[in-house]
Amino acid sequence: MGTIRFDGVSKTYRGQREVHALDDVSLTVDEGEFVALLGPSGCGKSTLLNVLAGFEKVSSGKLLFDGATISSPGPDRGVVFQEAALFPWLTVWENVVFGPRVQNLARSLYESRARQLLELVGLTAFADALPVQLSGGMRQRVGIARVLVMNPRALLMDEPFGALDAQTRLSMQQLLLDVWQQLGTTVLFVTHDIDEAILLSDRICVMSARPGRIIKTIPIELARPRSIASLTSPEFVAYKAEIMADIRITAHH
């Protein structure tokens, strides 16, 4: 469960000038795999996530999630947004249980799980706080918990740590590694941070801009479980050198 398949997907935005955000993208993400989409801003990596989430429609090509065509957003694909996108008028707890509540699930089905997840992301003491009273990192942890509570088959993360300071970003990456190593959900993770992509993922798809294409796929064979200590290992540095070389080549094109 949680298999993603892009088959020759293109996405064109019509307007005064046509923008080819995605051009003939093919990509398969297997169940439980962690794949990072790495590329400069404007390369279409967010578009790729948005069509998979069901927020936008593909212009051509086939996009399948567990073998079925995607027609609308749904709780089987949990999206974590860059700015967390929490409801500012709801408390942390109400934000976390928003999904099960709007789906009219019985309280007994989600309450203990929601409490465990709040514990997992270290926010039990802040259950009654409003998002505005939290730091950026804490808000993003709520954003992750409210998605995990729905037990999604895939996690779609759109530069979730991009707006955080360096130290907070490290702690969030560690948290995500821990959570993912426990749950084993399929993850598609958009980032422009090379370190982050190597640290977290099983496979990195490097994208180019205009038109948005996947130009290279690099499997990351660092041993699991990983932690932020892996950031300084020689294998890590070797991967980083390889990817930087790739990006430099595309920049010259």
Partner 1 sequence: MSSSTERVSLDTGGKRDTVPSWTGVSLVARRGVRQAVLAIVLPLAVVAIWQFAGRGGSLFGGVLPAPDRVFEAWRVWAFGPAGLGLNPYSGTWLANVLFSAERVGKGFLCAILVGVPTGIAIGWNRLSAGALDPTIQLLRPIPITAWLPFSIAVFGIRDIGAIFLISLGAFFPIVLNSAQGARDVERNLIRAALMMGAGRWTVLRRVVLPASLPSIFTGLRIGLGIGWTAVIVAEMVAVKSGLGYVLWDAYYVGRMDVVIADMASIGLLGLVSDLVIVQLERWVLTWRRLQSFQS
Among 36, 175, 197, 247, indicate the residue that binds partner 1 (CB under 8 A).
Answer: 175
How many whole angstroms separate alpha carbon 143 and alpha carbon 159?
13
Q: Which stretch binds partner 1 (CB under 8 A): 21-29, 74-82, 193-201, 233-241?
A: 74-82
Q: Which is nearer to partner 1, 164 or 247 (CB)?
A: 164
Does 74 contact partner 1 by CB under 8 A? yes
Q: Is the C-alpha dihedral spanning 38, 44, 50, 53 positive or negative?
A: negative
CB within 8 Å of 213: residues ≥ 6 apart: 22, 23, 24, 25, 207
Q: List Cα–Cα distances, 239 to 125, 166, 213, 232, 244, in angstroms.
A: 39, 21, 21, 11, 9
Q: Which of residues 94-133 bind partner 1 (CB under 8 A)?
A: 98-99, 102-103, 120-122, 130-133
Is residue 66 exposed (0-12), middle (13-18) or buried (19+ Cβ within 10 Å)? middle
CB within 8 Å of 72: residues ≥ 6 apart: 54
Q: Which is nearer to partner 1, 61 or 136 (CB)?
A: 136
Does 12 contact partner 1 by CB under 8 A? no
How many whole angstroms separate alpha carbon 134 and alpha carbon 181?
26
Does 135 contact partner 1 by CB under 8 A? yes
The single-letter DSSP state of residue 18 is -
Among 3, 12, 59, 171, indicate the residue that binds partner 1 (CB under 8 A).
Answer: 171
Residues that contact partner 1, how many (by CB under 8 A): 47
Does 174 contact partner 1 by CB under 8 A? yes
Among 45, 77, 213, 226, indicate the residue that binds partner 1 (CB under 8 A).
Answer: 77
What are the residues binding partner 1 (CB under 8 A)?
53-55, 72-75, 77-79, 81, 83, 85-89, 98-99, 102-103, 120-122, 130-138, 141, 146-147, 150, 165, 167-168, 170-172, 174-175, 178, 227
